[in-house]
Amino acid sequence: MTTETTQVYRVWIKASPERIWAAITDPEWTSRYAYASPADYELKPGGSYRSMATQEMKDFAKANGFEVPDVIVDGEVIEADPPRRLVQTWRMLMDPGTAAEPFTTLTYEIEEAKMQPGVHKLTVTHELTGAPQTAAMVAGTEDDGAGGGWAWILSDLKTLVETGSSLAGR
């Protein structure tokens, strides 16, 4: 598993930049793909960001002898330029190891794809300096129980935006 200090992920999506932006920032969308965690953004510099635990996450944790906090990821908006660019800090609070690490920086960039009209490239850059546990978690792998990380999240976001249904059928 990679624990690089900068991880970059790209996906091409056949949708408008406004629709992709909504899928990233609107809790109605974020609760429908990947880990189904509703995201709450205050889309202005200095604004807050929170991603909330679902009841399914809480039930799973309880059944396995641990607890998950209500807020599983938090941060602050650094830059918001809808529907093209979002820069924020990001800290995973789901376990004590990642919660103890410093905030990382996450950048979303939505650009028109040169190869095909109506297709947009979404690039996610995650700066993870000083956060090796978070880096391992977001790199993801199904093999070690870490989940799919950013690759899974972006694959599911793309599927939902293009088809109206997530990989899990939400």
pLDDT at 144: 53
Is the pTM for the entire model greater than 0.85? yes
Does residue 145 have a pLDDT over 70? no
Assess if residue 169 is contained within a domain: no
Q: Please indicate, yes or no, if residue 43 is contained in any of the structural domains.
A: yes
Of 43 and 145, the one with more pLDDT: 43
- Residue 54 maps to a domain: yes
CATH code of the domain in which 55 resides? 3.30.530.20
In a domain, 57, yes or no: yes
Q: How many domains does the chain have?
A: 1
Q: What's the pLDDT at 79?
A: 98
User: pLDDT tier at 1 (50, 70, 90 boundaries)?
Assistant: very low
121 strand-pairing partners: 12, 111
- Kindly state whether residue 168 falls inside one of the protein's structural domains: no
Structure tokens at 34: 């990947």
b or e along 116-155 (b: 16 or more beta carbons within 10 Å of the residue's beta carbon)? eeeebbbebbbbbeebebbbbbbbbbeeeeeebbbbbbbb
The answer to whether residue 34 is domain-embedded is yes
Residues 26-77 pLDDT 10s = 999 999 999 899 999 999 999 999 999 999 989 988 998 888 999 999 999 9
Which pLDDT does position 115 carry in this prediction? 83
Tell whether 133 is covered by a domain: yes
170 occurs within a structural domain? no
Q: Name the amino acid, one letter, at 108.
A: Y
Query: Can you give the residue range of the structural domain that contains 88?
Result: 6-163
Note the pLDDT tens digit of each residue in 75-116: 999 999 999 999 999 999 988 899 999 999 999 999 999 888
